[in-house]
Amino acid sequence: MSSLSEFHLLSVLAQERNMRKAAERLFVSQPALSQRLQSIEKDWGTKLFIRSQKGLALTPQGEEVIRFVNGVLGEEEKVREAIHSMDSGVAGTLKIAVATIVGQHWLPKVLKKFIERYPQAKISLVTGWSSEILKSLYDHQVHIGIIRGAPEWKGKKVHLFEDRLFLVDREISNISQVLETDRPFIQFKSDSNYYQEIQEWWHRQFKLPPKRTVLVDQIETCKQMAFNGIGYAILPEITLHGADDDIFKLSLLDEWNRPIKRDTWLLGYESAFELKQVRAFTELVLEHINEGQ
């Protein structure tokens, strides 16, 4: 039977599908890695990977072995976390999935504090849309998720903060000027609930669609295009810290003339909050918010 170190080797090979990249991650030479793989395949009595100029491809037998390997490694990590949580200090790996916008503009300061305070803890971070983060939570791929909007979640849910939505432009100083400009409305791809919120505000405000639109894949691209005067955009307040004074920021209002806001939540299953690293991170996040940062 293969050892855990060999399981880790197989997992990395399956992720990278490239001998050079896998060797770099494992800090071994390619010949040494190739030799170890041959020994592991001999132990399993079958070919696990097929080599080609394009890289490595899993055989059907290899796919079965990798499913088994990843299951064992996942259970090993849970046992290690349980052992670490029994110790007095905060250790183990904190696995977080975070909405991209939060990961770019708010989370770095929090993680810096966490790393400085708990040097023994490790962090595994993925970013994406809120819908992707919810899926990661449902599939138990992460301990906690930080998402935007109004999530339906039956586990533990902690409200972090809210921020307003603004129409941002270098020329438009009043909402009524939007339909007069020939410059484009710059939009970024987002979750459907965010897009729907913007659409509802637009139709309530103007009744007519924008004259021109530009769709970009990232919110940061959208922001930079608006900041450089290419067009106007609707952006959350979280992205606007440090914006130039000559950029107009017009608050979006709902039908009752109240600012439209987006909520940010921290979610997780109750069992995840039994882990010391998760509890420590949650406490630090709330402390960070209470300090007004």
Say whether pLDDT at 255 is over 80.
yes
The pLDDT value given to residue 54: 83
Q: State pTM to two decimals.
A: 0.69
Say whether pLDDT at 230 is over 60.
yes
Say whether pLDDT at 87 is over 70.
no
Average pLDDT over the chain, rounded to an integer? 88
Q: What's the mean pLDDT in 228-247?
A: 87
Q: What's the mean pLDDT in 82-98?
A: 77
* Architecture of the 88-162+263-290 domain: 3-Layer(aba) Sandwich (3.40)
Domain ranges for the chain, please list them: 4-85, 88-162+263-290, 164-260
- State pLDDT tens for residues 7-41: 989 999 999 999 999 999 889 899 999 999 999 99
Contact at 8 Å (CB) between 254 and 164?
no
**Alpha-carbon dihedral sign for residues 13, 19, 25, 26:** positive
The pLDDT value given to residue 86: 58
3-state secondary structure of 14: helix
Contact at 8 Å (CB) between 197 and 191?
no
Contact at 8 Å (CB) between 92 and 122?
yes
To the nearest whole percent, how much of the chain has pLDDT over 70?
97
The residues facing 248 across adjacent strands are 169
Q: Distance between alpha carbon 83 and the CA centroid of its chain, in Å? A: 27
Q: Which residue has the tokens 């183990």?
A: 92
The pLDDT value given to residue 207: 82
To the nearest whole percent, how much of the chain has pLDDT over 90?
53
Distances (CA, A) of 91 to 276, 277, 293: 8, 6, 25
The pLDDT value given to residue 88: 55
> What's the rounded Cα separation, in Å, for the pair 282 and 279?
5
Kindly indicate the confidence band of residue 1, based on its pLDDT and cuts at 50, 70 and 90: very low
E-state strands within the chain: 49-52, 55-58, 93-99, 122-128, 144-148, 156-169, 185-188, 213-216, 232-236, 248-251, 261-268
Say whether pLDDT at 2 is over 70.
no
Say whether pLDDT at 204 is over 50.
yes
Burial of 293 (0-12, 13-18, 19+ CB in 10 A): exposed
- State pLDDT tens for residues 107-134: 999 999 999 999 888 899 999 888 889 9
Kindly state the DSSP code that residue 90 receives in the 8-state scheme.
-
* Architecture of the 164-260 domain: 3-Layer(aba) Sandwich (3.40)
* Token duo for residue 129: 């849309």
Q: Which fold has domain 4-85?
A: Arc Repressor Mutant, subunit A (1.10.10)
Q: Which residue has the tokens 């796919």?
A: 63
Write the Ramachandran bin of 45: left for phi over 0, alpha for psi from -120 to 50, otherwise beta: left
Distances (CA, A) of 177 to 158, 183, 240, 244: 39, 11, 21, 21
Contact at 8 Å (CB) between 216 and 183?
no
Kindly indicate the confidence band of residue 84, based on its pLDDT and cuts at 50, 70 and 90: low
- Do the domains spanning 88-162+263-290 and 164-260 agree at the CATH topology level? yes
> What's the rounded Cα separation, in Å, for the pair 36 and 70?
18
The most confident of the ranges 1-5, 38-42, 205-209 is 38-42
The pLDDT value given to residue 75: 83
Q: What's the mean pLDDT in 156-183?
A: 91
Q: What's the mean pLDDT in 146-150?
A: 88
